[in-house]
Amino acid sequence: MGDAARERFGVIVHEAQPARPGNEGPETARRATIDADGKPGAASADGAGEAGGASETDARDAGADAAERARQARCRACYRLRFEEAAAYAAAHGFDALGTTLSVSPYQYTAVIHEELARACARAGIAARFDDWRPYYDEATRRSREEGLYRQNYCGCRFSDEEAAAERALRKAARAAKRAAERDAHAAEHAAAEEQRAARRAEKEAYAAKRARQRAALKALRAQGGAASGDDPAKPDAR
């Protein structure tokens, strides 16, 4: 993949992938040291323990809830592990800059990615090449599906796997609640429409009954008038 990328773009692709479910092994175990609070263990790269330290991004997110802060700290530690490994590889193999495709996802912490990429490159003595690829996310997703590339519906660590599953469950429940609300709303609409139809039927029936009474009364009056005419003594006898 690196040679093909070099021929087409003049770059080399290096995958610095921390531990993820289904990718177990000694190296994975060594690197899988980020706990739920985003605190790397002693076996992680030097300096990664600073992942929870203050920064401009951390200050902006000071008002976020504890779960969001913990999630961001975990992601920062993960970015740091990736970038420090990739930057060290780049420096050792004569590359003068390092970029990342992590910034294509709108679900990542783009500002933190930028900060950690710059930090790792500065430590390794190479240039940081940061690009915000988020505008191309939909196109990247479409092409990766068309070409049958590996995809997953979570970021990569077991925490993101659990969070993604919980978020999918919440979205599913929200969709079900919306459908139920729509059904209830339509049921109310149908009931109101049926009430209107029933009222119109009642009006028609009442009008028909009124007209029937009027016709019956008129018929009775006519019958009475005819009988009265037949008994008139002033009328001469035909005989």
DSSP state of 129: E
Domain count, the chain: 1
Q: Is residue 103 part of a domain?
A: yes
The domain of 104 spans: 2-151
Give the three-state DSSP class for 24: coil
Confidence at residue 150, expressed as pLDDT on a 0 to 100 scale: 85
Q: Is residue 144 part of a domain?
A: yes
102 in any annotated domain:
yes
Going by the DSSP 8-state scheme, the letter that residue 148 receives in this structure is T
Query: What pLDDT shows up at residue 4?
Result: 57
List the chain residues with pLDDT less than 50: 1-2, 23-37, 40-53, 239
Q: For residue 179, is it within any domain?
A: no
51 assigned to some structural domain:
yes
Residue 90 falls inside a structural domain: yes
Q: Which residues contact 31 (CB under 8 A, 6 or more apart)?
A: 18, 19, 43, 44, 81
With residue 127 as reference, give the H or E element that holds it: strand 127-129
Residue 189 lies in a domain: no
Residue-wise pLDDT tens digits, 72-118: 999 999 999 999 999 999 999 999 999 999 999 998 999 999 999 99
Which one-letter amino acid corresponds to residue 152?
A: Q
Residue 176 lies in a domain: no
Helix boundaries (H) for the chain: 2-9, 26-31, 56-60, 66-92, 110-124, 137-146, 158-230
Position 237 scores a pLDDT of: 55
Predicted local confidence at residue 12, as pLDDT: 65
Tell me the whole-structure pTM to 2 decimals. 0.55
